[in-house]
Amino acid sequence: MMRQAESPAAPGDRLGDAISRLDVLERLAATAGSRALATEAHELRARVAGGRFFVACVGQFKRGKSTLLNALVGQQVLPTGVVPVTTVLTLVRHGPTLGARVRFSDGREMDVDPAVLSDYVTETRNPGNEKGLAAVEVEVPSDLLASGMCLVDTPGLGSVFAANSATTQAFVPHIDAALVVLGSDPPISGDELALIESIGKQVAEMLLVLNKSDRVADADSQEAAAFTARTIARRLDRNVERIFRVSAAERLAGRVTRDWADLLAALTGLAGRSGAVLEAAAERGAARIRRELLREIGEQRDALLRPIGESERRLDALRRAIAEAELASRELSARLQVEHVALSQRFAAARHAFLQRAVPDARQELAAIIRATPAHRGPATRAAAMHAALVIAERRVIEWTDQVEPDAEAIYGATMSRFVEMANDFIRRISPDVSSALTIEVDDICAEQHFRDPARFFFTSLLTLTDPGLWRWLLDCVRSHRSQIASSTRHASQYLEHLMASNSTRVANDLSSRVAESQRRLEFEIRQRLSTLLASAERALDRARAQQAAGAEAVRAELARLDDLRGRVQRLALAAAHARDEVADGQVSEGGRA
């Protein structure tokens, strides 16, 4: 009799194993002296064991994220407003009654009345998070959250408050699933596209929502959704199955419209897969903590092997370089703002020249097409004229866009190259003193000759302008052909001019916003890189001082301890890899039997 192959661990057992590995990882981090990593492992283990998984609501500021979450839980619990509101992460979880708690960065916690949440989470009453909050938790008796799903309201990207965007970027590694809230005009920003790409690399569960769909014509909303789906699919190199077009404001007003029921069904389905989501969250978080812990151990070893004076000189040089980089960055940012205004003016001038040149030619082309159109009775002549105007306007605007894009990129490349070269000077100054154990790449940041973000312009048809109205439609039914041609030509010419003016403005605005987004993200990446180097070097130096002061034997003992710790972390990584292989083998086996 053939021996039956051993079955892979059941999903519940796999989750239990993942929780056990997080427990071990917490102890290893504590033994290594990394309190931050030990705390992170502890918190991740606690929420996975408690069945809580994070669905982060992310997107550009003023997309209506807070309003959407209020609509999902069925009551107005999060502040909303006409200016960027959310400044700190706000966790909405299930609870028997409505309640709220604020957590401060120093570890303090305080229960507050949900009615006064705006005192803590809004830019107006807590500007720049000056109150020092780490997060806010809100408990709501919502059926949607009963499974353990936690909705996380994040500060919007791209607002004038840079700290808000940084808070959201820092939370990305902790996201288990994403609810990406987009708009119709513009449908997707460069910051949003970059965030979606970052999230898409680590989570499979991502729901895309086109909010405020009640504010645009249905045809424009559909066009925006299709454009957004194509853009994201190209960026992620994977199919985008669905974009939910909803209006959170309508839902709060008691109306279920558009795709709201489908969005709720998708979230409910996600809750039903919570075990798999939590297992993936545990393994992903553990892998990140292991990498950071190995980096920390490596830096501690290197600091022990170097003379203290050399480590202190490295640290002083790093601090000076960062201080210089920060000063230069502020100075250059101010200069770039001036250049950005000049770029916007050049784009506007290019648009004006295009309209002056192209509109008269387009009108002549339209008139010729209308005259050559076979005679129709009634409103058909006007409909044909409006369609011709749409085709002509779209072709001419797209042709102009293709012409202006290379010129805009050339101007952008020259501007950003000056900034990148200065950044490279700082990186090259620092790199000889950076320990290889940090495993942070400090190679030159590539000078950018092209926009970091693809064009987000899409041609808007302005279909509401094509409606002839009741009286004009009735007159079309009785006009002579000659009168019909004249009236249709006037109407279509006005429509043509509106199309070209509106869409060329959208092209110029898109070029200008992509310059600003590229500059902002590049500055953020450089600051983040330098601050990571500094924090790691400071921790390692503090520990090395204490060990070297205790003598050579203490240093040898500490090196042996660090080597043992590194080996244990590596073995833990091998155990996790083995568990993943077992799951993969089991899935292949199940597929073969099926």
For 341-350, write each residue's pLDDT tens digit: 777 787 788 8
Is pLDDT at 265 greater than 70 in this prediction?
A: yes
Average pLDDT for 209-227: 81
SS3 210: strand
**459 vs 447, which has greater pLDDT?**
459
240 and 222 inside one domain:
yes
Q: What angle do CA 421, 426, 427 make, to 5 degrees?
A: 90
334 and 433 inside one domain:
yes
What's the CA gap between 87 and 129, in Å, rounded?
A: 6
Separation in Å, CA 182 to CA 115, 204, 590? 27, 18, 39
The answer to whether 138 touches 97, Cβ cutoff 8 Å, is: no
225 and 78 inside one domain:
yes
Mean pLDDT of the chain: 75
292 and 327 inside one domain:
no
Burial group, residue 414, by CB count within 10 angstroms (0-12, 13-18, 19+): exposed
Q: Other C-beta atoms within 10 Å of 239: how many?
A: 8
SS3 92: strand
Residue 340 lies in a domain: yes
In this prediction, residue 533 carries a pLDDT of 66
The answer to whether 28 touches 565, Cβ cutoff 8 Å, is: yes
The answer to whether 45 touches 24, Cβ cutoff 8 Å, is: no
Phi-psi region of 458 (alpha: psi -120 to 50; beta: other; left: phi over 0): beta
SS3 175: coil
In this prediction, residue 27 carries a pLDDT of 93
Following DSSP, what letter does each residue of 513-528 receive, concatenated?
Answer: HHHHHHHHHHHHHHHH
Domain that residue 240 falls in:
59-272
Burial group, residue 177, by CB count within 10 angstroms (0-12, 13-18, 19+): buried
Q: What tokens does 490 get?
A: 């006037």
385 and 283 inside one domain:
no
What's the CA gap between 391 and 218, in Å, rounded?
A: 20
User: SS3 breakdown of the chain: % helix, strand, coil, rounded to 5?
Assistant: 65, 10, 25
225 and 314 inside one domain:
no
Number of domain units in the chain: 3
Is pLDDT at 492 greater than 80 in this prediction?
A: yes
146 and 250 inside one domain:
yes
Q: What is the CATH number of the domain that holds 157?
A: 3.40.50.300
Q: Of 221, 250, 272, which residue constitutes the final position of a domain?
A: 272
Sheet of strand 53-58: strand arrangement: 109-112, 99-104, 133-140, 90-94, 149-153, 53-58, 177-182, 206-210, 243-245
Burial group, residue 143, by CB count within 10 angstroms (0-12, 13-18, 19+): exposed
Residue 478 lies in a domain: yes
Peptide bond into 186 cis (omega under 30): yes
For 78-101, write each residue's pLDDT tens digit: 877 544 445 678 889 999 999 989
**280 vs 378, which has greater pLDDT?**
280
- Contacts (Cβ under 8 Å, ≥6 apart) of 477: 378, 379
Residue 518 lies in a domain: yes
Residue 293 lies in a domain: yes
324 and 415 inside one domain:
yes
Is pLDDT at 454 greater than 70 in this prediction?
A: no
Residue 8 lies in a domain: no
For 391-413, write each residue's pLDDT tens digit: 888 888 888 887 777 777 676 66
For 279-297, write each residue's pLDDT tens digit: 888 888 898 899 889 988 8
Does this model's pTM top 0.85? no
Residue 10 lies in a domain: no
Residue 160 lies in a domain: yes
The answer to whether 311 touches 544, Cβ cutoff 8 Å, is: yes
- CA neighbours within 13 Å on the CB side: how many for 395? 10
181 and 51 inside one domain:
no
Residue 1 lies in a domain: no
115 and 251 inside one domain:
yes
The answer to whether 224 touches 459, Cβ cutoff 8 Å, is: no
461 and 480 inside one domain:
yes
The answer to whether 576 touches 289, Cβ cutoff 8 Å, is: no
For 503-521, write each residue's pLDDT tens digit: 888 777 777 776 666 666 6
For 34-76, write each residue's pLDDT tens digit: 888 898 899 889 988 888 888 888 877 778 888 888 888 888 8
Q: Other C-beta atoms within 10 Å of 421: how many?
A: 12
Q: What tokens does 240 get?
A: 């985008």
What's the CA gap between 512 and 344, in Å, rounded?
A: 6
**429 vs 321, which has greater pLDDT?**
321
280 and 372 inside one domain:
no
Strands, DSSP E only, in 412-457? none
